[in-house]
Structure formats: C-alpha cells, structure tokens
Structure 1
Amino acid sequence: MNQNFCIVVLLGLPASGKSWLANKLCSFLSENDCVVKCAAYDNIVSLEEQAKIALSSTSELTKHYRREMKETVESILATPNSSQKNVMIVDDNNYYRSMRYEYHQLAAKFNTGYLQIYVRCEVANALFQNSNRPQSNRVPDCVIVQMDTRLELPCESWENSLTIDSADLNNPSMMSKIWVRIQEAISNPVSTIKRLEEKKLVAEQSKLCNNHNVVHNIDKALRKQISQYIREHKEKNSARVLAAQLNDIRQSVMEDAKRGIIVPPADILKADESIDMPKLETWVTTIFLQRCSSQHGHDLVILE
C-alpha cells in the first residue's frame, strides 16, 4: 500500500517538451522533500530504434518495450516507500488511452494517486522544435506526423488530466500548479476513488432495484384490487367482461407508473429502503378507483 505515492503520466507529441518538463519537475519535487523517480521511454529504447518501430508494420516490439516500461514502474511501486511523498514520473508519448490506463490500473493496484499531464503542442511546433534539436536527438518527422493522427486526447474522468500548452512550460507558476494537483492525487488514491464510484454504482443499482420493486408491487396491489372488485360485483356483471375492462385500467396505471406520469408518495420507502405496503396499497386503491370512476359512464360495466 503506497498511500503517500503518486504516478504522474506525461503524454504528448515527440518534441513537445515532455522530457524538459520531467527534468524540471524532478528538481522541483526534490526541493519539496519528495522522493522522485522517472521512467523515460527514451532511456529504454533509442531514438533510432523508435523510428524503426514507428515505421514497422508490426506492433510486437512496441508492446515489448512498453511492457518493460510498465514493469519498471511496477517494480518501483512494489518497493517499500518512506514517510516522504513519492512521485513516479512516466516520461513517454502515451498517445493511446489504453497505454495510460495501464498505469491507472497500477495506481489502483498499489493504492497510489494518479495524475496525467498532457503537454499540448501543435504538430507544426513539434516539428519546428524537433528540427532545433541536435541531430542525434531528433525524431524522424514522419514519426511526429503519424503520432499526431493517432493521439487520443484525455477525455475520461479517470484520467485526472492536467493540460499544459508547450508554450507555457516556462511559466513560473506552472510547477506550483502541478504540485497542487500531485498533492490532491496523493490525498485521493485511485483505489479510494474506485471504491467511492463502486459505492455510488451500488446505490444507483439499489435505487433501480427499489424502483423495480415499487412497480412490481403496484402491479400486485392492482391485481388485488381487481380481484376484490370482481368479487363485489360478480352478481350484477359479467365477470369476464368486467375483468377485461379492469385489466385495461391496470395496464394503463402500470404504464403511467413506469413512465413516471404518476409517482407514488416518497414515504412509501421506509428507512431501511423496504416498501411500506399498506401505504402503497392505499395510494394504488385511490388511483385505481379514480380510473374506474373516469371509465364509468363510457364502457365500464359496473352497476351501482
């Protein structure tokens, strides 16, 4: 359990400024008494090899190296942490959401915080910045252009993403802004958030279940009313005809209940979320008799 830990996943185009941000962030966090580790894809795979992979028709090498990145991060998370805040920076393009989600799953597994930082950069600017790099550090232009077409922007709530424009990386307030988000993520580990979401889902499912039970019990109460009504009037009416007419009324009430046109009183649900059947039956009886009364005088065969 690493409740004093945060995984910070960087994403963006090559040459957008991610590695610069990672280095700057490492220094800043260290000055704020954090234990900082950084896993950089460029340290695992050379730029030359990355170019070959990008132009290759197979994705097996990509999967292999990214699995190695993930295992590196996981091994660090698995080691005992100190009382200091720990930050694990993942410096990679992470252009597919599925790539980021693997680290989110690690955060859930190890009960850590999770934060994404998307370094937003227009492809033209990334190409320009790439051209100003030393030749040995340049990424082939085709790799940047291709990745721009594949980049899946952060949009899911679980991503907890902070977007920074590459032009704003030198903004003096940027590190403090990131630091605030990291501390918030540490205070809200992914597993805690997941438990809250699961609790909310259970509550919603319980509510749906209760709604279903209410409708089901409305139907039972209506059938009970029909049986009673027929017994009381069978000497004066054709039971078969009367039953058919009353069943039409039952179906109309059921349809209106399902569509929310008629709503049972809120107090039919007890504190333990069970249904107060006497109250429900009283309400159903009122609705039923109102429908019978409105039908009476048209074609309902009921004798006074």
Structure 2
Amino acid sequence: MLDVCIAVLCGIPGSGKSTFAKTLIRNKKDNIAGTGQEQEKNSESFNWMLVSYDDIIPSDTEKHIIEKEVPNAWKLYRENIQNAVVYLIQRLQSDSEFTEPMEDRSDCCFESFRTFMQRMVGKKNGTVVILIDDNMYYSSMRYKYYQLTRKYNIGFCQVHIECDTDLSLVRNRQRPSGQVPEDIILNMAARFEAPNPEQSSWEKYSIKINTNASPEALENSAIQVLELISKALSDPSMPIMEELDQTSKEVDRQICSENIIHQADIVMRKLIAEYMSQAKGQNTDRNHMKSLSACLSCCKSDILQELKRGMVYLSSDEELLGKLRDIFHEKLGAYGFG
C-alpha cells in the first residue's frame, strides 16, 4: 500500500519556496531519512507530486484577479486545487488503477496531476509526498490540508520558508514574469502566521528554513526536511470522531441543562411556598395575596425561560438555592414586592 504525506511549504512571495521545492525533489534519492532496509526501500519508491499554485493558476488569470479584485476568486481557485488534491489522495488509496480522467472545473491547469497519475499506474507500494507550494500565510489555510490528512489517515508536516522581507522584494523584482505587487508582499509579511508547534499540536511536525544564505546552504536544510517528512510518514494524522465528540458533549450539556432546569423548578416552588407562607403569617389581605401569587408565578416563569436561553447560568445543584433566592428577590423588587 502507498504511504502518503502532505508537506506544506509556506512563506511570503520571493522567500524561495519554489527553489527549495526543487532542491527537495533533487535530493530525494540521495538523502532520504532512515537506515538500512527502510532507507533502501524509500530511496527506490519515493514519489513527489508538486502542487505549485503559481503553475496551476495561469498568470493571466492571476493578473486579472489582482487588478480587477474579483470577489471570492482566490477562494474558488484554492478550493479547486484542494479538491484536486483530495481526488489524488482518494485514487492513491484506491485498489483500482488510475483510469478515471480528471476533469477541470475551472481554467486551472491540472496537467501535472494527470501526468503524475499516469506515472503511478500499477504502483501499489512506495511513498508519495504531495508537496504544496503556496504562500499559506494564514494558519487556517494550512489547517485545511491537515484536516485532509486526518480524514485519510496520512502524514502531515509544514515547512516555513523564511527570509528577510527586503530580500524577498529584491527576488520578486528579478523574476522574469509573474511578479507580485510589492504592497501584497508587505501585507502578507505583516499578517503571516508562522507555524507554532508549542501552541497547536497539529503543527508538531514543522520546521523553519531560512533562505537568506546562499543556495548551497539549502542542501543541508533539504536533508532536515526529508527527515521531518519521514517522521510525519511514520506518525500519520489519526482520524478522530470530532463530530461525534461534539454531538456527545452537546447531549451531555443538554441533559445537564435539563436537570438543572428541573431542579430549579422544584427549588422555586419551595421559594414560592415560603413567600406565600410569610405573607399569610403577616395577615396580608386577600387581594394582596392574590397579586403576590401571580407575581411569584411570573418570576418563576421568567427565570425558567432565562435558564433555557442561557441568560442565567447555574454551575451546580449546590448553587441553586442561594442564587435562585437572590434572583427571585431581585425580580420581586422589580415587580414592586421587594
């Protein structure tokens, strides 16, 4: 069976992501992490699928989106690319061969996907690394790919390609084509959310690569990233029944809430009996007793509604009597019976 890992490259435009991706792929056979039979197996069966957003989204389309500020265009294109990745993973995990054609649902260029699938025909064993090359400057963008790995029980890791913003601007100007407006680069740099494994457990397999140095220095960095990918492959994201967990928690909360409301109803009946008994002991006239009874009933109804709506929160049964007595007293005062 094929082992699959999604490796997300993230960094601002001009940081060197595409150059580093090529360095990684070039080093795949010479520097695969592992020892003995594992290293030999991986070196023979490591397959890379480079998902370059710049290559998939045509440059003229990108220019049109930027210049015309087309609403939701970026979101649509990103969803199309992610759907293509989902399709690829499904085919990789399927027992059948890659026979179904991949349909373009936009003007994205998915030729690299089709070529890769053709190359994988008949392969049942080995390792596939889906290398995502995009800015991914918000953690939420990267988290969507993590969710895929959790759903399909495959590896996940992140590589933060970092460099000085001034250097990225220089590199961007030197591009023969596809230059990104500098205000966009500066904006991304200001908003960039770097992977934070200490804060988010899903980012545990993350590494930062600085590309300020010469290209030769990237060779050692590539080895480190290959080791990271190897760790992610050996520890794939585990599917968790989050939806069921949330449903279970909601049921528990509902049961608890219903129990609290039931107990509150009992407590308030006792409070009403106390107020009525006190009024009767003070030889209160019949009309006043009737008004007091109606007021107490309204107070009880109001408090129950507020409990159901979450406007009043009671954390435990022990808190019921004291807090309800205070709330009851406040409401009675509002009705003129304080």
Please give the TM-score of this superposition, normalised by the length of structure 1.
0.59
Structure 1 range deviating more: 66-75 or 121-130: 66-75
Amino acid at match of 1:221: I
Structure 1 segment 270-289 matched on structure 2, within 5 A: none
Amino acid at match of 1:14: P
CA shift, 1:180, in A, is: 3.4
Contact 1:3-1:111 within 8 A present in 2 as well? no
CA shift, 1:223, in A, is: 3.5
1:264 matches 2:276: no
Select the residue among 222, 225, 246 that pairs with 1:201: 246
**Distance across 2 between alignment mates of 1:225 and 1:176:** 70
Select the residue among 130, 134, 138 that pairs with 2:176: 138
The equivalent of 1:154 in structure 2 is 193
Residues 243 and 171 of structure 1: CA distance in aligned 2, closer, same or farther (over 3 Å) = farther
Residues 207 and 166 of structure 1: CA distance in aligned 2, closer, same or farther (over 3 Å) = farther
Give the match's secondary structure for 2:22: helix
Amino acid at match of 1:93: N
The equivalent of 1:220 in structure 2 is 265
**Distance across 1 between alignment mates of 2:209 and 2:244:** 33
Aligned length: 265
The equivalent of 1:176 in structure 2 is 224
1:36 matches 2:48: yes
Give the match's secondary structure for 1:167: coil
Contact 1:54-1:143 within 8 A present in 2 as well? no
1:57 matches 2:68: yes
Give the root-mean-square deviation of aligned CA atoms.
Answer: 5.1
Contact 1:16-1:126 within 8 A present in 2 as well? yes
Give the match's secondary structure for 2:14: coil
CA shift, 1:208, in A, is: 3.1
Q: Which has the higher contact order (CA 8 A, sep 6+)?
A: 2
Residues 84 and 231 of structure 1: CA distance in aligned 2, closer, same or farther (over 3 Å) = same
CA shift, 1:216, in A, is: 0.2
Contact 1:215-1:258 within 8 A present in 2 as well? no
Q: Deviations over 1:237-265 (max 9, x none)?
A: 555477579779979x98999455x8435
The equivalent of 1:294 in structure 2 is none
Amino acid at match of 2:261: H
1:88 matches 2:130: yes
1:7 matches 2:6: yes
How much identity, in percent, do the aligned residues show?
20
Residues 184 and 258 of structure 1: CA distance in aligned 2, closer, same or farther (over 3 Å) = farther
Structure 1 segment 59-78 matched on structure 2, within 5 A: 59=70, 69-70=81-82, 72-78=84-90
Give the match's secondary structure for 2:212: helix
Give the match's secondary structure for 1:35: strand
The equivalent of 2:91 in structure 1 is 79
**Distance across 1 between alignment mates of 2:50 and 2:219:** 22
Unmatched 5+ stretches in structure 1: 266-282, 292-304
Contact 1:7-1:87 within 8 A present in 2 as well? yes
Residues 226 and 101 of structure 1: CA distance in aligned 2, closer, same or farther (over 3 Å) = closer
